[in-house]
Chain A
Amino acid sequence: MTDAMPIDFTAITAPLRAVVETNVGTTRPRWNVLQQVLAAFDEAEVLQRLASARTSWLLARTHAGYFDHFPSPAVPRSYRVVATDGSVIHPDRHTPLRYYVLNVGYAILQYGAICEALLDVETQLCANDEELYVTDRSRRVPVAGAVLGIRRAVAELEAAVRLVSNDISLSTLAILDGTLILWGLEGLPDFVVSWGLKPFLAALAAFREKRVPVAGFISFPGSSDVYNVLRVAVCDYPLHGLPVNCDHCRARIVTEGHRPACDQLPDIPDRELFEKALALQPGERSQVFQSSSRVLDHYPPEDRIVFFYLHTGTEVARVEVPAWVAADQEMLDFVHGVLVDQCNRARGYPLALQEAHEQAVIHAEERETLLTMIEQLLAEHGMLLRESAKQRSKRGRYA
């Protein structure tokens, strides 16, 4: 074992202890407040507040009971699940070539009288201009970073549509890893938004036309849409006859040293709210909520994404589906039942997604192999790949 330079732990131990103590000290009383707020929750009053609330946070909306639990329906005896997961080899600035590689892994699992599995991957090299740039007359945006993330999400959804066969004899659920709300588009220029949305929405519509439900599964979700509704519930602005206005309130913290009423609540994400405070049980799901994300304004109403929380046995996950799926009780129950069964098979995470991920994952050796291939192909034409000095110093570390 080499003698690496350690960080100076003695310098941070005491401050770390202080942070933990402060955190624990403030959290416990806040949880008591949370329990009181939940007990006193007046849905009619809160819905009224929501109607006029001005907040930059996302608020979950529903017409029926916010904190209702729904037990797992019976698992369908036979069903098919199609899962896709994508990974990317990003553009490498160390090579003179412009490209990225999209790798979409998929798993089709069928259960019932005959059980079958199909695991494979579709790899695509994207190297021509239409794939490398999003253009709009005078402007050109490279497909990289967040934009590449959108491209990947589109590829996963399109692959899932292709893999869902037209065989209607077996009920099918398509599952994707991650959200169906294209958050990444927020803040991007309009022409990029259209570029991303067009194929994505077309694929969503295709699922609706085939009457095949599609769900986005988010493990360890960080969202607080439902929790933010509790903030609205405890807000003191309505007590003064004012609508809830978070921007105004937050601004007063700086100008007046004001302490927002909702600071008395613990700062927790929805998954903790449902698991710990609301005691969602394994297999149960929450109410279905509408998201207030602005990106959804671009979606047709039937395809607008709604979500619920699901206890998978080991965690509370967030499941997103298009509105038309949730509107059909039988279909919603099918999605719920299949997800519970899939999670039971793989210790709390849908088995099909796990297998799709395994197919998609790109190992370090494979990235190296790709670079080696490029080096060799270039060498055939007498071109040598020049590494940057920084890259060379990382490959061969010396003292």
Chain B
Amino acid sequence: MPEAERQRWGEIVSTSTIGFISECEELHCIPPLGSLVLVHGVQGERIFAVVAYGETSSIDPGRRIIRRGRQGLSDAALYEQNPELKHILRSLFHAVAVGYEANGVIHHVLPSLPPPLHYSVEVATSDDVVQFTARPRYFSILAHYTGEVPTDQLLVAHIRYVFDARGRDRVWLEQAAREIARVFKQDYDRLLPLLESLDPDAP
């Protein structure tokens, strides 16, 4: 299967300078909170974004979701027995732009142009993640994003994701923690719990 098809998880249905909303190829197949996705921009650059929110709802906002289950029919079986559901529901995720790669160089700043509507969104491979996060100087972009999910939760989810994607790279984790400390140095009350959440050895 071609690279692009293997990785395509969604299509952009709303776009702006700070990020985009993508409709998922398959119902419920939303990339995890904090994971990295990427999309090609108009100038050939690859824009990296952090998944900041996901939801599944009715395609038509005028149609309410009602209970479909009955005795003996629930969960996955419910979907099998109601084949029209996958046509009338959709899964979406929001992604925050945190940088881009152009001509082999990584830039941890917002892309100058938003990615186009209807372009494919791919999930970043391990190599992409390692390359983009080598020097984690983009946390301030995430820290200043306000969305549905509290920013601290988003940061923790992202850092944990990168830590795993980098093969539980502790050296990198320490770098990340130092960066967090730098971003939140004025807010000690916020910083401590954040650092505690990042501790891989904590119960």
Which residues of chain A have a CB within 8 Å of any CB of chain B? 107, 109-111, 115-117, 119, 345, 347, 351, 355, 358
Which residues in A have their C-beta under 8 angstroms from that of B60?
Answer: 358
- Contact between chains at A351 and B83 (CB < 8 Å): no
- Bound Cα distance from A117 to B82, whole angstroms: 8
Number of A-B contacts (CB under 8 A): 28
Q: State the Cβ distance, A359 to closest chain B Cβ, in Å.
A: 10
- A115 contacts B87, CB within 8 Å? no
Is B66 part of the contact surface with A, judged by Cβ < 8 Å?
Answer: yes
Contact of B88 with A115 in the complex, beta carbons under 8 Å: no
Q: Contact at A347–B82, with CB atoms within 8 Å?
A: no
A115 vs B85: C-alpha distance when bound (angstroms): 11
Task: Choose one: A116, A119, A345; the contact of B88 (CB below 8 Å).
Answer: A119
Q: Decide yes or no whether B84 CB sits under 8 A from chain A.
A: yes
Q: List 6 A-B contacts (CB under 8 A).
A: A116-B83, A117-B84, A119-B84, A345-B82, A351-B84, A358-B60
Q: Could you tell me the distance between the alpha carbons of A347 and B63 in the complex, rounded to whole angstroms?
A: 14
**When A347-B66, A358-B63 are in contact, do A107 and B83 touch as well, CB less than 8 Å?**
no
Select the residue from B68, B80, B84, B87 with max chain A CB neighbours within 10 A: B84
Interface size on B, residues (CB 8 A): 13
| A300 shortest CB reach to chain B, Å | 35
CB distance from B154 to the nearest CB of A (A): 34
**A117 and B63 contacting across the interface, CB-CB below 8 Å:** no
Chain A nearest CB from B52 CB (Å) reads 29
Tell me whether A115 and B63 are in contact in the complex, defined as CB-CB below 8 angstroms, given that A355-B88, A358-B88 are known contacts. no
Within the complex, the shortest CB–CB distance from B64 to chain A, in Å, comes to 12
Which chain A residues lie closer than 8 Å to B85 at the CB level? 117
Chain B 80-100 near chain A by CB (<8 Å), digits 1 or 0: 111111111000000000000
Query: Nearest CB to that of A344 among chain B residues?
Result: B70
Assess whether B82 is in contact with A115, with CB atoms less than 8 Å apart: yes
> Known: A347-B66, A358-B60, A358-B63. Contact between A111 and B84, CB under 8 A?
no
Q: CB < 8 Å: which of B66, B68, B81 contacts A115?
A: B81
Interface string of B85-129 (1 = CB under 8 A from A): 111100000000000000000000000000000000000000000
CB closest residue in chain A, given B66 = A347
Complexed CA–CA distance, A119 and B88 (Å):
9
Residues of B within 8 A of A345 (CB): 68, 82
Neighbour of B83 across the interface among A115, A347, A358, CB < 8 A: A115
Question: Beta-carbon contacts of B48-92 to A below 8 Å, as 1s and 0s?
Answer: 000000000000100100101000000000001111111110000
Given the known A-B contacts A345-B82, A358-B60, are A119 and B66 also in contact in the complex, defined by CB atoms under 8 Å?
no
CB distance from B124 to the nearest CB of A (A): 33
Q: Which residues of A contact B88 (CB under 8 A)?
A: 119, 355, 358
Shortest A278–chain B CB gap in Å is 28
Closest 10 CB pairs of A and B: A117-B83, A117-B84, A115-B83, A119-B87, A116-B83, A355-B84, A115-B80, A117-B87, A115-B81, A109-B84
Pick the most buried of A110, A111, A117, A351: most chain B CB atoms within 10 A of its CB.
A117
Q: What residue of chain A has the Cβ atom nearest to residue B63's Cβ? A: A358
* Complex Cα gap A182–B140 (Å): 69
Q: Distance (Å) between the CB of A111 and the closest chain B CB?
A: 7
* Binary contact readout B119-159 vs A (1 if CB under 8 angstroms, 0 otherwise): 00000000000000000000000000000000000000000
Name the CB-closest residue of B to A119: B87
CB distance from B71 to the nearest CB of A (A): 12
Closest A residue to B80 by beta carbon equals: A115
Cβ–Cβ contact A110 & B66, under 8 A: no
- Chain B residues whose C-beta falls within 8 Å of the C-beta of A119 in the assembled complex: 84, 87-88
